[in-house]
């Protein structure tokens, strides 16, 4: 790493390594690319060990709480699986960047939630990262149990989730959230396995513009095209999604 530092700071090395686009002011670009280089070098050298440490700290936070925050598992389940009856979301296997962003949003009020706001505010930036790292490292949702006979609502949910309804410009959920709803980091969270009540609450909040922390307003644009019945069907399907959607 020290050698990398020296090379990065050597006069003349910047333009050779990273040619500057002609339309951008020289100084800003060079400073930014230099900074990015240094950060990525440092990250590469220490990232692996740090991530591991973060995860351990996150596990402690999840199981015991810390600094005034209760243990995450109290509501989000022993293995981060969520709590279906109460509508507490599944965290296990969720994208790290997404989880971190939500914690920050709860803390700064850009995502409103009376339970999470005080908890998020009591966490330090490092603790937020630890918790996000920990839950992201846990295994994601896997379908378990025998396929059941799908209700009409489940089938309707399957159709919206996989195909959307383009007659009203409504894209499929899985067009962005992954082919099986497993999420597409860093921006698109996993949907598969989320409790019905959680998804339903969130979609309704997007639609009512009560939740607005989505990039480019993408989620809001979709949710506002959904009817109550469609929200219910999608939420129901996503709790236990099956690709085929039929009994075998």
| Distance in angstroms (rounded) separating the CA atoms of residues 186 and 110 | 18
Which range of residues in 67-75, 83-91, 138-146, 216-224 is near another protein by CB under 8 A? 216-224
Looking at beta carbons only, is 81 or 182 nearer to another protein?
Answer: 182
Looking at beta carbons only, is 65 or 178 nearer to another protein?
Answer: 178
Burial of residue 200 (CB within 10 Å: 0-12, 13-18, 19+) is buried
Residue 186 C-beta: closest distance to another protein, Å: 9
Q: Which two tokens stand for residue 167?
A: 């007659």
Q: Which two tokens stand for residue 49?
A: 């060990």
| Distance in angstroms (rounded) separating the CA atoms of residues 158 and 233 | 8
Looking at beta carbons only, is 138 or 173 nearer to another protein?
Answer: 173
Binding flags for another protein, 127-166, as an x/- string (CB under 8 A): --------------------------------x---xx-x
Tell whether residue 184 is a contact of another protein (CB under 8 A). yes
Number of CB atoms found within 10 A of residue 72's CB = 22
Which range of residues in 33-41, 48-56, 110-118, 172-180 is near another protein by CB under 8 A? 172-180
Looking at beta carbons only, is 125 or 179 nearer to another protein?
Answer: 179
Tell whether residue 18 is a contact of another protein (CB under 8 A). no
Looking at beta carbons only, is 1 or 179 nearer to another protein?
Answer: 179
Tell whether residue 215 is a contact of another protein (CB under 8 A). yes
Residue among 82, 111, 108, 126 nearest 238 (CA): 82
Bond before 186 cis per omega within 30 degrees = yes
| Binds another protein by CB under 8 A, chosen from 6, 49, 152, 167 | 167
Q: Which residues contact 143 (CB under 8 A, 6 or more apart)?
A: 240, 241, 242
Looking at beta carbons only, is 138 or 190 nearer to another protein?
Answer: 190
Residues near another protein (CB under 8 A), total: 22
| Distance in angstroms (rounded) separating the CA atoms of residues 226 and 246 | 24
Number of CB atoms found within 10 A of residue 198's CB = 20
Whether the Cβ atoms of residue 194 and residue 206 lie closer than 8 Å to each other: no
| Binds another protein by CB under 8 A, chosen from 70, 204, 221, 245 | 221
Q: Which two tokens stand for residue 26?
A: 């020289």
Binding site for another protein (CB under 8 A): 23, 159, 163-164, 166-167, 169-171, 175-176, 178-179, 182, 184, 187, 215-218, 221-222
């Amino acid at each position: 790493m020290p050698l990398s530092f020296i090379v990065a700071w050597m006069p003349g090395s910047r333009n050779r390594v990273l040619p500057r686009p002609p339309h951008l002011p020289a100084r800003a670009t060079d400073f930014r690319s230099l900074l990015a280089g240094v950060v990525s070098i440092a990250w590469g050298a220490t990232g692996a060990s740090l991530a591991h440490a973060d995860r351990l700290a996150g596990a402690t936070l999840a199981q015991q709480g810390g600094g005034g925050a209760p243990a995450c598992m109290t509501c989000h389940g022993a293995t981060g699986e969520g709590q279906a009856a109460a509508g507490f979301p599944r965290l296990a296997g969720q994208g790290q960047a997404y989880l971190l962003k939500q914690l920050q949003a709860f803390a700064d009020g850009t995502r409103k939630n009376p339970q999470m706001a005080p908890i998020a505010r009591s966490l330090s930036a490092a603790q937020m990262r630890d918790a996000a790292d920990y839950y992201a490292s846990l295994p994601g949702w896997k379908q378990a149990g025998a396929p059941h006979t799908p209700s009409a609502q489940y089938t309707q949910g399957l159709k919206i989730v996989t195909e959307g309804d383009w007659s009203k410009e409504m894209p499929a959920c899985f067009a962005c959230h992954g082919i099986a709803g497993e999420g597409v980091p860093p921006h698109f969270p996993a949907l598969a396995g989320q409790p019905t009540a959680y998804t339903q609450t969130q979609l309704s909040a997007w639609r009512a513009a009560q939740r607005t922390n989505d990039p480019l307003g993408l989620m809001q644009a979709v949710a506002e095209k959904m009817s109550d019945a469609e929200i219910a069907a999608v939420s129901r399907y996503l709790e236990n999604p099956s690709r085929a959607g039929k009994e075998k």
